[in-house]
Chains A and B, each alone.
Chain A
Amino acid sequence: MRCLYCDRNIDKQTIKSVFLKEDELCPECRRQLRVNRKILDFDGMKVETFFEYDGIFRSLLLQFKECHDEALKNVFLYDLSEYINIRYFGYKILFVPSSKAKLEQRGFNHLEEIFSEVRLKKADGLRMIEDGSQEGKNLEERRKMSTNYVYTGAPHKKILVVDDVVTTGSSLKGVYNCVKTSAGKVKVLSLAYKCFTLHY
């Protein structure tokens, strides 16, 4: 079997790959994709993140999302899916929606594919008022995203909001605010965080 990222033959085994499940990355690449768990605070909304949006994680996510490489779907949450199962037991996953044009181009929803190994139930009913992606937007335009979401689904007790990369936190904040009215407990999870400097 070959490593999905660097295309070398996998001849070594790690303890996790023997006992947990077979890894699709080679041990060298896996070592670079280091889990750096952080809890970020955006004005009272706490977001749990696992990776820094940099280096090998960035190129893997870009290959998955922009080059439409579906084979990489189980790479990101290789040993984290069990952790999510236990920590968020009883929660229902709610994905932050992406734009319709991108969905049609890709042919799959990237967040659903990444979280397909997680055994939590899925919730739906979240949609965007104005369709469009956040690519290349500045801080002002990103802040407007916080009022761009509407939740029309059934009320649940516990909801877990999931996104891939958090930068300013404004879109997650928007989702958080509109889901909070119809749910008891809301927690937020993001795969990666992006360090950025503010320009005022």
Chain B
Amino acid sequence: MECLRCGNKDLAYFYKGAKGYYCRKCIKFSRVLLEEEPESFNYEVGTGVDEYRFDYELTPEQKETSHNCLKTLTHSDVLLYCVCGAGKTEISVESISYYLSKGLKVAYAIARKEVVIELGKRFKQIFAKAKVISVYGGHHEELSGDLIVCTCHQLYRYYRTFDLLILDEVDAFPLKGNQTLMNIAINSCKGRIIFSTATVDDELKKILIQRNVRTVELYTRPSRHPLSIPRLIYLNRYLALIYLYRVMSLMANQCIIFVSNKKECRNLYRLFSNFFSCTYVYADLKERNENINAFKENRKRFIFSTTVLERGITIRNISVIILNFSRTFDESNFVQMLGRVGRGIGNDEGETYLISDHYSKQISRTMDYLKKANSYL
């Protein structure tokens, strides 16, 4: 017994209903009967929609990588292994255009809803003639177009439909550690997959070996800034607060301070709001957007944040401090947080600190990764 959509083989998850056995592991995405094969979604891709145009010039490295990516796609899947801020979206555009010109179905799947809305607008500018559809929770009346941009959770609607699927940020929240969702995403595609990520963990490695995936690497960012190597400081949790106060008072530019949980985030905000102009944010905070906007518009100098700000935010001249007092952060978290620094083109500088009360393997792996990436400059 195996569920065709989510790949579940555990017998405890099958239940016999009125229409036969079905899988309860992926029941939240509607019922899949064991005997019936789920229906694939059919739609037509229009002709002449493959034209694309950028408002800015790509760097030579980016052009070379996108050629490599398209070349590798002819015989196997691709892992786009790029440092954060390298422009993974722009690199995949050439492959998308090639597939669209042949009339094949392409989808771009990404984790969060806000990013889907933003990316949908960006793809509309890049592919001016194509009909770009963005699908996310609460917005799924129209499911067929030329190019589909959707959240990972919406991929269950398209069983074995796409010829090219781009899975962005595989190392991030919904796909990481969620085998069911990963299998649904993989089963929504009958052709090739592009996994795009900055770090590879053990679970992903298994899938990559299983699918025989080739790697395409890019270690330089279009801004040509090296990745910032943090100043490592080992201090007791309470002494670290004094050190943090000193660093903050000497800091010249804006700064994001990453902490591991929301309780700590709130407490540190209460303490430091007596001394500095600062604000705070975590995922289920009511004033989340207002606080982020206040920081973006430079009304507040410091922001205390959990991992919500680790992806998809670009601010010039920013510094990053990471407070690592519990064992929740891993390599991909560290790399993404430190990657907030130096993203803009031109003069863009910032400092990074990593304050920790213990030594861990994750930290040493992060330092190795940063050094390796910087050696390609």
Contacts and interface: CB of A to CB of B under 8 A. Distances in A.
Interaction A to B = yes
A4 B24 CA distance: 9
Interface stretch (A64-72, A90-98, A124-132, A156-164): A64-72
A108 interface: yes
B18 A69 contact: no
Interface string B10-53: 00100101110010100111110000000000000000000000
Contact of A67 (B15, B19, B31): B31
Interface in B52-93: none
A107 B27 contact: no
A198 to B, nearest CB: 25
A63 B28 CA distance: 7
A69 B17 CA distance: 8
Query: Number of contact residues on B: which range applies?
Result: 10 to 19
A2 B25 CA distance: 12
B30 A107 contact: no
B28 A70 contact: no
Contact of B24 (A66, A69, A106): A69
B28 A107 contact: no
Interface residues on A, range: 10 to 19
B15 A71 contact: yes
A69 B31 contact: yes
Nearest to A108: B18
Contacts of A69: 15, 24, 27, 31
Contacts of A4: 24
Interface string A83-105: 00000000000000000000000
B12 A70 contact: no
Nearest to B19: A107
A86 B12 CA distance: 35
Nearest to B20: A107
A91 B28 CA distance: 36
Of listed A4, A66, A68, A107, residue having the most chain B CB within 10 A: A68
B15 A70 contact: yes
Given A68-B17, A69-B24, 13 more contacts: A2-B12, A4-B24, A67-B30, A67-B31, A68-B31, A69-B15, A69-B27, A70-B15, A70-B18, A71-B15, A71-B24, A107-B19, A108-B18
Interface of B: 12, 15, 17-19, 22, 24, 27-31
Interface of A: 2, 4, 63, 66-71, 106-108
20 contacts: A4-B24, A63-B27, A63-B28, A66-B30, A67-B30, A67-B31, A68-B17, A68-B30, A69-B15, A69-B24, A69-B27, A70-B15, A70-B17, A70-B18, A71-B15, A71-B17, A71-B24, A106-B18, A107-B18, A107-B19
